[in-house]
Amino acid sequence: MAAVFIHLSDIHFGQEKDGGRLFINDDAKKMLLSDAAEEVVKLGTRASGIIVTGDIAYSAKREEYVTAGKWLDQLAEQVGCDRLDIQMVPGNHDIDRGAITPVMKFHLDAVREKGDEMLDMLLDDVTQREALYERFAAYRDFSSGYGCDLDVGGMYSADLAVPVADGRTVRFVRLNSALICSRSDDQGKLILGARQRVFDANAGEEMVVLIHHPLNWLQDSDEAARYFKSRARVVISGHEHFPSLTIETIEEDSDLLMLAAGATSPDGIDDKYTYKYNILTFDWDKNNDALAVSINPRTWNPEMKRFEQDTTFLEGKSERNVLGSPHFRRGGAPVALVPSKSGEPPQAEPVPNSITGSKEADLSMSHDARQVRLRFFRDLPEERRRRILIDLGAIPVDLTDHLDHTIEQRFFAKLVAQGCLDKLSAEVDSAILEQRRGEAE
């Protein structure tokens, strides 16, 4: 049973420097909504989810993510998926460069010079680790609402999966290639680190890696590539704003597809760079017991001011690619999934991650609780969230210490576990309403 995903990258909310460019970019985003809806209808299904490979914002400011959230809600509604079924990884524009202090810049430069050893020292020190992730403050609020938390231990997340046949699952691996991004970044100087490079491969599962920077931006690209070739079947990236597709035969009956995305909203529009996005379909190829990936690349037609299939990108390439899938073959005899009577597509589901365990809270949370969490972290600023935690008795009124993001998440999960979901929901609704009234005045 096919699983369809809308793939976006480099949306850059907040990049516009003048009102005219804002109107032009907003028009393209509006046309994307209708184009994606029409293309998904042609497939006779609904989307299983949305993938964003970084640079959601331009300057990593909260107001940029507020705008992004509203637009992503519209996209989810148009393509028929739950707004919780959005996966994302951070890009270099999802870092607040203003939060890079001289001390932090010194540490980031040291990591670039000394590599994994220095990075591990920072990650093992609680204080330094929180300082390292402070650059992602607004992104962390936004992404954690969707359950796409940054692992502050510097590890990967592989906690969402979608079935394509009985015993055949596509699992998404989210990596943070922006971990040591600084005020400016040179190609080949970034580092993933060993904690992200090493991820498990399981029988019956093929991995799809989501990462913002292509491998050529990493110092540890050779070692990362070895793990990708061994463990993954697909690598999807962004950053360079121009699409590319390569399929490499790793060994007999084992392939790796690497898809680099064009920018959904590039810095500028010219003969080379324009608005682009992809519609990706993951399916099980019964004849080969393999993962099939179909790519419908969508590009902007500047004459007709609309999206259409990128025939130039597809020239000489196959729209449907069957990949040699050794991890599928280790999973025993598969059975094709039968669509439900309602015609619902397979959805990405939280599943245990034996390495990070980052999805444990999701596994115990109901859908309603996850919806409240989305509104709590994504739609409310820190001071309003703090007031709710005080009002519900999660923290004392006189607590003056800063609540780091991880602790705040624990307080939220604790209130849910204590049966306070209805109170939480009412408090969040009231805070959002109050916020809107303030904005209207």
Given a cut of 80, is residue 349 above it in pLDDT?
no
pLDDT-derived band at 355, boundaries 50, 70, 90: very low
Pull the structure tokens for residue 214. 């292509």
Burial of 59 (0-12, 13-18, 19+ CB in 10 A): middle
Burial letters 303-320, b for 16+ CB under 10 A, else e: eeeebeebeebeeeeeee
- What's the pLDDT score for residue 353? 39
pLDDT-derived band at 357, boundaries 50, 70, 90: very low
Given a cut of 90, is residue 216 above it in pLDDT?
yes
Given a cut of 90, is residue 40 above it in pLDDT?
yes
Other residues' Cβ atoms within 10 Å of the Cβ of residue 260: 21
| Percent of all residues in the chain with a pLDDT value above 90, rounded to a whole number | 78
- What's the pLDDT score for residue 185? 87
Cβ atoms of residues 57 and 16 within 8 Å: no
> Which of 352, 287, 356, 353 shows the shortest CA–CA distance to 322?
287
Cβ atoms of residues 87 and 51 within 8 Å: yes
Given a cut of 50, is residue 139 above it in pLDDT?
yes
Distance between CA 179 and CA 59 in Å, rounded?
16
Average pLDDT of the segment spanning 268-290: 95
pLDDT digits (tens, 9 = 90+) for 222-273: 999 999 999 999 999 999 999 999 999 999 999 999 999 999 999 888 888 9
Where exactly are the structural domains of the chain?
Answer: 3-350, 365-440
Cα dihedral 295, 53, 205, 351 in deg (nearest 10): -130
Distance between CA 262 and CA 278 in Å, rounded?
9
Give every CB contact of residue 177 below 8 A, 6+ residues apart in sequence.
54, 89, 91, 190, 192, 211, 212, 213, 217, 218
Given a cut of 60, is residue 356 above it in pLDDT?
no
What's the pTM?
Answer: 0.93
DSSP string, 335-394: BPPPPPTT-PPP--EE---TTT-TTHHHHHS-HHHHHHHHHHHHHS-HHHHHHHHHHTTS
Average pLDDT of the segment spanning 188-213: 94
Among 3.90.226.10, 3.40.50.800, 3.60.21.10, 3.30.470.20, what is the CATH number of 3-350?
Answer: 3.60.21.10
Other residues' Cβ atoms within 10 Å of the Cβ of residue 380: 21
Q: Average pLDDT over the chain, rounded to whole? A: 91
